[in-house]
Amino acid sequence: MTNCNCDCERSEQKHEEETTILPDWKKAFVNRQEFLKLVSISLSGVIGLVATIPAVAFILNYLFVSKPPKWVNVGQMTKFKEGETVQVGFHDPYILPWDGVSGHRAAWLRREPDNKFTAFAISCTHLGCPVRWQAQAKLFMCPCHGGVYYSDGQVAGGPPPRPLQRYPVRLVNDDVQIQVGTFITEPESEAG
């Protein structure tokens, strides 16, 4: 009994030593064991891919969805006084029902003479913190790293590399509309 156990163990050990995980490619179609390895590894790969590819595609679903900029109403023209810069709020045009207050957005809107308007993104072009309009000083100031912009969005001081991003503005009847994209500003879409 003991001898048998020893023999069995030795045989098992020898088998383990001889067995490799990957098939011997040259013998894959002539040797049963090598062929079984090839079939098992190939099918394991298929199982993995079938489960993984749709899941990863689903996780990255946003890469397959296009969200072009949309026009949003920010108020009636008469609401805004000439020469004043005010904060306007609106909803993300692509808001989802479960976004809650996270779907709120804001921009700075300035009314110029002759019924012209300029809309600025609230994100600092340095690192994206929200800039604050200081009406008395007529400056936008960023709380994070001290970026400062003039009332026309040009950089007045600090680390911002570019002027504040501008949104296109149009008047539809008496409504002021701005075309909003993302609030993370892209270098190529700087102030126009």
Partner 1 sequence: MKIIDNLLEWVEERTGLKAPIMHMLAHPVPPGSKWFYVFGTAIMTSFIVQVITGIALSTLYVPSAGQAYESVQYISSQAPFGAFVRGLHYFGASAMILFTGLHMIRIYVMGSFKYPRELNWLVGVGLLFLTVAMGFTGQILRWDQNSVWTVAVGAQQAMRMPIIGKYIVEILVSGEEVGSSTLSHFFTYHVFVLPGILIGAIGLHVWLVLHNGISEPPVPGELVDPKTYRKKYSDMLKREGKPFWPDAAWRDIVFSTIVVIGIVALALWYGPPAVERPPDPSLINAQPKPDWYLLWYFALLALLPKEIEDAFIILAPLFVVVVFLLIPILAPYGERSPRRRPWAVASVAFIVTFVLALTVAGVKEPWSPNFTAKPLTPEIVGVTSGPISDGAKVFNTKGCLYCHAIDGQGGMRGPNLTYVGDRLTHNQITLRIVNGGNNMPAYAASITPKELKDLTTFLESRKAK
**SS3 of 77, please?**
helix
- Rounded CA separation 21/8 (Å): 22
Q: Give the closest residue to 119 by CA, choosing from 77, 86, 141.
A: 86
**Is residue 91 within 8 Å of 103, Cβ to Cβ?**
yes
Q: Please say which residue, 80 or 120, places its beta carbon nearer to partner 1.
A: 120
Candidates 161, 168, 170, 171; binder of partner 1 (CB under 8 A) is: 161
Candidates 71, 75, 181, 190; binder of partner 1 (CB under 8 A) is: 181
Cross-strand bridge partners of residue 85: 110
Q: Give the closest residue to 146 by CA, choosing from 134, 135, 104, 136.
A: 134
Candidates 28, 103, 175, 179; binder of partner 1 (CB under 8 A) is: 103
Q: For the chain, what's the residue count?
A: 192
The reply to whether 95 sits near partner 1 by the rule CB under 8 A is yes
Residue ranges of alpha helices (H) inside the chain are 2-18, 32-59
The reply to whether 158 sits near partner 1 by the rule CB under 8 A is yes
The reply to whether 185 sits near partner 1 by the rule CB under 8 A is yes
Q: Please say which residue, 38 or 155, places its beta carbon nearer to partner 1.
A: 155
The reply to whether 121 sits near partner 1 by the rule CB under 8 A is no
- Extract the tokens encoding 71: 């026009």
Half-sphere exposure of residue 117: CA atoms within 13 angstroms, side-chain side: 28
The reply to whether 139 sits near partner 1 by the rule CB under 8 A is yes
Residues between 34 and 93 with contacts to partner 1, criterion CB under 8 A: 59-60, 62-63, 65, 67, 87, 89, 92
Residues between 22 and 41 with contacts to partner 1, criterion CB under 8 A: none
Binding site for partner 1 (CB under 8 A): 59-60, 62-63, 65, 67, 87, 89, 92, 94-106, 122-123, 126-132, 134, 136-139, 141-146, 148, 150-151, 156-159, 161, 181-187
